[in-house]
């Protein structure tokens, strides 16, 4: 982030993965930022993979240990840090394709069960009506989850 450099690997490196356009990623990033600003939240959890993700355009940094949490192959040594981020998260951004589909391993299944139990599509009360309207028109590939109860 320091120099603001980004790169995108050719799709042949990741067959079957779809890549978001810059315009789509910037639009989603603006909605995420507006949502967080409405509620005075500093960070969000980004569950996803590479492919021109919105996190590279948000003003708010995602929670760690990585910018994009790839929980289907999260290194064992980083799993405790990932759980800390998940417990701290009030907002999650994810790609519907990855979203809450069944996990490929026990760790991923636990994460997805936790998110289903503790998060919802229903925006937090602090999210302004204008932001809610923008969320409704957000590109269908992306979804924002909100923590239901802490």
What mean pLDDT, rounded, does the chain reach?
A: 78
Q: What is the pLDDT of residue 56?
A: 80
Residue 124: which pLDDT band, with cuts at 50, 70 and 90? Answer: very high
For 84-123, what is each residue's pLDDT tens digit? 888 999 999 987 766 665 566 777 778 888 888 999 999 9
Task: Give the residues across from 95 on adjacent strands.
Answer: 142
Q: Is the pLDDT of residue 144 over 90?
A: yes
Model pTM? 0.77
Angstrom distance (rounded) from CA 141 to CA 109: 21
Whether 107 and 77 have beta carbons less than 8 Å apart is answered as: no
3-state secondary structure at position 119: strand
Q: Which range is least confidently modeled, 9-13, 15-19, 71-75, 140-144? A: 9-13
- In the chain, where do the E strands start and end? 45-47, 91-95, 119-120, 142-147
Strand ordering across the sheet containing 142-147: 45-47, 91-95, 142-147, 119-120
Contact indicator for 123, 146 with CB cutoff of 8 Å: yes
CB 106: neighbour CB atoms within 10 A?
8
């Amino acid at each position: 982030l320091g120099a603001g450099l980004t790169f995108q690997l050719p799709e042949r490196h990741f067959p079957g993965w779809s890549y978001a356009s810059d315009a789509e990623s910037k639009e989603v990033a603006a909605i995420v930022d507006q949502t967080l600003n409405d509620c005075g939240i500093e960070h969000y959890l980004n569950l996803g993979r590479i492919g021109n993700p919105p996190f590279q355009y948000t003003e708010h940094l995602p929670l760690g240990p990585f910018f994009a949490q790839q929980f289907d192959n999260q290194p064992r040594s980083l799993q405790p840090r990932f759980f800390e981020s998940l417990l701290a998260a009030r907002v999650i951004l994810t790609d519907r394709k990855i979203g809450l589909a069944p996990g490929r391993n026990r760790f991923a299944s636990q994460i997805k069960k936790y998110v289903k139990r503790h998060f919802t599509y229903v925006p937090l009360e602090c999210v302004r009506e204008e932001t809610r309207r923008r969320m409704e028109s957000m590109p269908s590939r992306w979804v924002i989850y909100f923590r239901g109860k802490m």
